[in-house]
Amino acid sequence: MRIIDLSHPIDAGHPRYAIERTVKGDLAKGDLFQATTLRLGCHGFTHVDARRHFFLDGKTIEQTELDALVGEAIVVDLMDTAPNEAIGPEKLAARAGDVTQGARVLLKTGWHRHRNFYDVAFWRDAPYLTREGATWLRDTGLRTIAYDFPQDYCIRQLLDGVVAPVEEHVTHDILLRAGVHMIEYLTNTAEITASRVFLSAAPLKIVGADGAPARVYAIEGWPK
């Protein structure tokens, strides 16, 4: 059995995500304990989107079913995906033909091999799903999808302060709207060698939140 950590570390030094980190107590000076306080957004680093992120009638993160985020997942091998490639239904149909109703799906591009998560090029040069690709995935009846790349083209525009309409956030507009659970910004996916893994992506149970950070990992060779 092998455990593969798919989570980005939450680091106060990240250039895109504003994090406030304070530490109370100094063990080196003889204090009894050290206690860290963080202030961070629910959609930075590796995280899970709740449907409430975009839709008023959607569940919040503490209402999201854990069994949608924990269990066997199909790994779709997209490791030959190029920078700025538009991933459409043709490629998905060729690689994800075994995705069926209710499946958990992990799209494995290995994007972390090409661009550093701490560099703006991680977003500006990323591959992305087309609207037709997102529609193809929705029509398989999958329950959950995990990405290791910024999956909507318009995400890169946020770097310039441009907030696109919902129609351009194609995976949110098509998949999240349809109730598909979304796990975003995985890393280290190139370490996955199996076509199916046990995936755990349990988010923090934050009441009323539209998403939450998660420690995501995959297990290969787990007891079935």
Interatomic CA distance for residues 46 and 122, integer angstroms? 14
**Predicted confidence band at 71 (pLDDT cuts at 50, 70, 90)?**
very high
* Mean of pLDDT values over 43-49: 97
The end-to-end CA distance of the chain, in Å, is 11
Structural element, H or E, at residue 213: strand 211-213
Is the pLDDT at 224 greater than 80, yes or no?
Answer: no
Average pLDDT for the chain: 97
- In this predicted structure, the answer to whether residue 24 has a pLDDT above a threshold of 80 is yes
What is the reported pLDDT for 59? 97
Task: Identify the H or E element spanning 73.
Answer: strand 70-77
Looking at residue 26, what is its pLDDT?
A: 96
Checking DSSP bridges between strand 196-200 and strand 217-220, what pairing results, if any? antiparallel
Identify the band that residue 12 occupies on the pLDDT scale cut at 50, 70 and 90. confident
d(CA 128, CA 85): 6
Query: For the residues 75-81, what does the mean pLDDT come to?
Result: 98
- pLDDT value of residue 192: 98
How many structural domains comprise the chain?
Answer: 1
Q: How far is CA 217 from CA 9, 88, 154, 165, 220, in A?
A: 13, 27, 27, 32, 10
How much is the pLDDT for 115?
97
Per cent of the chain over pLDDT 90 is: 96
Overall average pLDDT of the 3-32 stretch:
94
Q: What is the pLDDT of residues 91-129, one digit of tens each?
A: 999 999 999 999 999 999 999 999 999 999 999 999 999
**Residue 95: which domain range?**
2-220
Percent of the chain with pLDDT over 70: 100
Confidence (pLDDT) at 19: 92
| Contact residues for 28 (Cβ-Cβ < 8 A; gap 6+) | none
Q: Under a CB-based contact definition with an 8 Å cutoff, are residues 98 and 67 in contact?
A: no
Kindly report, residue by residue over 146-165, the tens digit of the pLDDT: 999 999 999 999 999 999 99
pLDDT of res. 73: 98
Output the domain CATH number for residue 201.
Answer: 3.50.30.50
The string of pLDDT tens digits covering residues 172-209 is 999 999 999 999 999 999 999 999 999 999 999 999 99
pTM across the whole model: 0.96
Report whether 197 contacts 75 (CB < 8 A): yes
Asked if the model's pLDDT at residue 83 lies above 90, the reply is yes
- H or E stretch including 122? helix 121-124
